[in-house]
Structure 1
Amino acid sequence: MKLKFLAALGFIAATLYSCDDETTGIGQFISNEEFIQAKADSYTVETESHLLDSVYSRSTTAYLGKFTDENYGTFTSDFLVQINCPENFSLPDRLQSIDEATLGLYYTSYFGDSLAPMRVQVDTLTMPIQDNGLDKNLYYTNMDPTRYYNTQNPPLATKDYTAYDQTVSDSLHQTSDYYKHISIDLGNAFCDNFKSKYDVTAVENGETVHPYFKDSESFINNVLKGFYIHVTNGEGCILYISDIYLHLTVSYMSRNSADTADSLVTAIVPMTATNEVFMSTRFQNSGLQNLVDDPTCTYLKTPAGLCTKVTLPIEEMYEEHRTDTLNSISLSFTKMRDPSTSPYKMGTPANLLMVRADEMKSFFENNEVYDEHTSFLSSYNSTDNSYSFSKLNRLIAAIFSEIRPEIEKGTAQWEAWKAEHPDWNKILLVPVTTETDSQGNIIGIGNDLSVNSAMLVGGKDLNESADESEKIQMDIIYTQPSQD
């Protein structure tokens, strides 16, 4: 399991502590010598693919479509969304009618075949979604839409589309003024119902108001609970939807500048989905279990598909280094060549989060940022096709501190503790996206929801049968307390 070698590395200030600006001591020592013998160790880590049925996501992007990949199976995405109603929203005075209501799905990009014929269906929700921030399950990507709409009701609207709208001229597609979108007519019945709810009035503080439109909560509970938007026919493309608008075309009476005559005026009133109201995308994958069972490598697949689980040889390391100072620990994972022959190849995950397996859930739910103590971030290096992690001595030190009291209780208690904490020595490599401030500092990390994938060197075959020198090695530099 372990390949060990020793090396005298020279003057410690120039050689040792340059590895980590915050050297973590397991055993502490003081030495008056100018030269301290540094030693190096290397331990094998074991890896396997890990299925993520669902991930936590509070994304401002919605995803829509269906795509089948020769290696990663079929992937579908659909979403629930509410429309925001600004406080004291109002339509024009002397409103005559709502002539048209269209739902606009505006997308910045897409994955797959831009000419794949698809059909989208819009259903109205029959149950309001109360999002007060306490129910984290609302934002997991395996949410069940049927909890919020009646599958027996006829659809509100359907629309056939392609990602590249062939009804728009090629020259317009090339202009900066054109914003790719699907426009869905919601029908006359929707317009009539909307106006009937707007016509309800009440008197508050001597003024006539529209109580169902005074804020988002009133609007969602009484007028429009939201939409479920999903593809019912076709496959080959996934849209990345950045903006969702409800456009109302209204007619109202307006007087001329001399106030002598009435005229019928038409206007478009937009309403939109915003961060103040609920939106959540569901992702479904089929065919990933075969990749989990593949022993020849490990996989990353987004969104909500596969990550890589790493088992660290903590017991062996603790036995040999519990009194040492771990100055530097590093680990690297190599990306393999993609064998896919598909014309629509997935992208490579740009960033990997390394996080303890039993802390992944809380990390994303609490909107944490990696701390380089129990969570780490690595960006893909295309030069050597790898993701590299350093300063892992801080992680190992934290785990040593956690298990020391349990080990000292005796073998029986230690074995019982491990049985109760099966992931105590497991870490996950999870594809993520990052959010930065104006200075480039990372202020947010979320699960990667784009269509990406990668194959990493590792897996059960490498764990069990490969030569030690071919396995994934975690490199350590450490020093030992003086024996004088």
Structure 2
Amino acid sequence: MKANILASLFFATLTLAACDESTDQIGISLVDNADLLEVTTDSFNVSSKSVLVDAVLGKNGIGYLGRIKDPETKDLISSSFMSQVATIENYSFPQKTLIANTVNGEVQADSCVVSLYFSEFYGDSLAPLKINMQELVKPLPESSNYYSNFDLVKNGYLRTDGINLDKVCTLADFTYSDKERSSSANGKRIQFSLNAPYKDKSGVTYSNYGTYILQTYYQHPEYFKNSQTFRTHVVPGFNFSVKSGLGAMVYITNVQLNVFLTRKEADNKKSVYMASFPGTQEVLQTSKVINDTDKLQQLVDDNSCTYLKTPAGIFTELTIPVDQILKGHEKDSINSAKIVLQRINEESSDDYQLPVPTQLLLLPKNQLNTFFENRMINDNVTSYIVSRDYNVDGNNRFSSYKNTYTFSNIAGLIKAMAKSKQKNSTDWNKVVIVPVTTTTATINQATYTTSIRHNMALSSTRLAGGEKNSRSPLKISVIYSKFK
């Protein structure tokens, strides 16, 4: 539908005060030019389809661990994760003579634990899981990109004769008291005790893993110079996976390796000393996801709608009708181009429906991998974010009330696609919709996106559209302007 709009209305409220002869014609000249401006609108069908995702970049600030049955596909989804741990620069333990616990003159750690802290999870907190912990034989190079199908075993990163512990637990861990579980200081955690005798790669046996770290420090303090030397020579990292059990997926926000020892104080007193080595976003963390691709393919083959499904499941691909949009408007300006993605509510009564993704990234299909590998940020020219809250431009948003994702103005993308066509670029008129997670920073009351990563949590939704949906095809609305 096309409509002519009197552009002079845009200037009806403009008042100019003329103070001398040099300005007395400004108002008239503006009105005359405005009378020459013509604004029109139009809308076009957008083709959409689901695309199966083989793998996504697995590096993330959160570790995903668990196994669940997808209520939508009945597919088993499992995730394991690897985390390195860090040390502060030039870390130092107390002087060797101050360590109270010794055996044959060699200092000993009292105990050692690895804790996996989490605040969120999906599924049943009472579902028992058998979680396995193994140590790495060598650190993963941080310069490489690791996708969600990267196999640590096949690539020779897991130590076969090192730490290999199983722990049966529930996310509501009843080995702690009610007071401990509710304490914000303790937090929700899964804890592994490393107090059994430990043999390092050179064959030396220590009373526990903490003693190994402690004695390594006194023999080679240079290994603790920074996190890189620490993981190269002391602790390469740990891998956590689910051996058995079903019904829960936990989102690990922090990994903590703690070594406890007794320190001598003045007046024959003693105190407990804790050395802490965290696994956070500052070090490498990767997740490996296993999906049933045959069952996901059944959703992809459903042409009556499209899907968004994580982790590493299904994206939605759009084909933008650039040629139609520009036909007859080669000399016009595209002021606005809006796409609204309508969600389709699920009708299942399952108690554990997957959450709806609330942040989506729209970007050119031919930039999908490089965008994440290069740690790029949306520029609102060729890449756009919608989220539950208003975006930086004040318009792009996800509305749970309207059940819609709105990309309010992708005019810059259309212009960029036209240039890509001239360069014979592959998939020049195609974009993908990708569920993501973002981190932000607020400076001078303005909020900025600082990182965008693939959403590796569990989420799913259906979108109106699809290649066979003639009743409610996806539309793009365009506003043009030109001078007569």
- Shared fold (TM-score, shorter chain, > 0.5): yes
After superposition, residues 91-240 of structure 1 pair within 5 angstroms as 91-92=93-94, 93-94=96-97, 95=99, 96=102, 97-131=108-142, 134-135=143-144, 137-138=145-146, 140-146=147-153, 147-150=155-158, 152-153=160-161, 156-170=164-178, 172-190=180-198, 192=207, 195-196=211-212, 198-199=214-215, 210-240=221-251
The two structures, once aligned, show a CA RMSD in angstroms of: 2.7
Deviation of 1:443 after TM superposition, in Å, equals: 2.1
- SS of 2:109 mapped into structure 1: strand
- Of residues 5, 10, 33, the one that matches 1:9 is 5
Q: Compute the TM-score of the two structures, normalised by the length of structure 1.
A: 0.82
AA aligned to 2:457 is: S
Whichever residue aligns with residue 211 of structure 2, its letter is K
Match in the other structure for 2:53: 52
* Number of aligned residues: 432
| Separation in 2, partners of 1:223, 1:179 | 27
> Is 2:431 the partner of 1:427?
yes
- Name which of 378, 384, 388 aligns with 1:376: 384
**1:63 corresponds to which residue?**
64
Name the amino acid aligned to 1:235.
L
Q: Determine the structure 2 residue equivalent to 1:74.
A: 76
Once the two structures are superposed, what CA deviation does each residue of 1:7-51 show, in whole Å capped at 9, x if it has no partner?
A: 122225639xxxxxxxxxxxxxxx835153322221110111122
Q: Which residue of 2 aligns with 1:409?
A: none
Q: CA deviation at 1:434?
A: 2.4
Give the aligned partner of residue 448 of structure 1. 455
Aligned counterpart, 1:245: 256
Aligned-residue offset at 1:304? 1.9
1:480 to partner: Cα distance: 4.5
Distance 2:10 2:72 in 1: 48
Pairwise CA distance, 1:142 = 2.1
Q: Does residue 88 of the first structure (1) align with residue 106 of the second (2)?
A: no
> Mapping of 1:375-394 within 5 angstroms?
375-378=383-386, 379-394=397-412
Structure 2: runs of 5 or more not aligned: 12-31, 103-107, 199-205, 387-396
Q: For the Cα contact (< 8 Å) 1:122–1:155, is it kept in 2?
A: yes
Q: CA deviation at 1:173?
A: 3.7
Q: Which one is further off, 183-192 or 295-304?
A: 183-192
Structure 2 counterpart of 1:144, one-letter code: D
Are 1:396 and 2:403 an aligned pair? Answer: no
- Tell whether the 8 Å contact from 2:135 to 2:159 is kept in structure 1 after alignment: no
User: Contact 1:199/1:210 (CA < 8 Å) preserved in 2?
Assistant: no
Tell me, yes or no, if the aligned pair for 2:152 and 2:158 is still in contact at 8 Å: no
Alpha-carbon distance, 1:350 to partner: 1.2
TM-superposed CA distance for 1:82, in Å, is 1.4
CA contact (8 A) 1:100 1:188 kept: no
Unaligned runs of 5+ in 1: 16-30, 203-207, 407-416
Does the C-alpha gap of structure 1 residues 256 and 480 become closer, same or farther in structure 2, counting only changes over 3 Å?
A: closer
Please list the CA deviations of residues 387-445 of structure 1 after superposition, one character each: whole Å capped at 9, or x if unmatched: 11122222112222333x46xxxxxxxxxx3xxx4411101111122222223523222
The code of the aligned residue for 1:47 comes to S
What is the deviation of 1:170? 3.9
2:6–2:35 contact (8 Å) kept in structure 1 = no
* Contact residue 335 and residue 480 of structure 2 kept, 8 A: yes
AA aligned opposite 1:297: C
Q: TM-score, normalised by structure 2?
A: 0.82
Cα distance in 2 for residues equivalent to 1:478 and 1:35: 14
The CA distance in 1 between the partners of 2:111 and 2:66, in whole Å, is 26
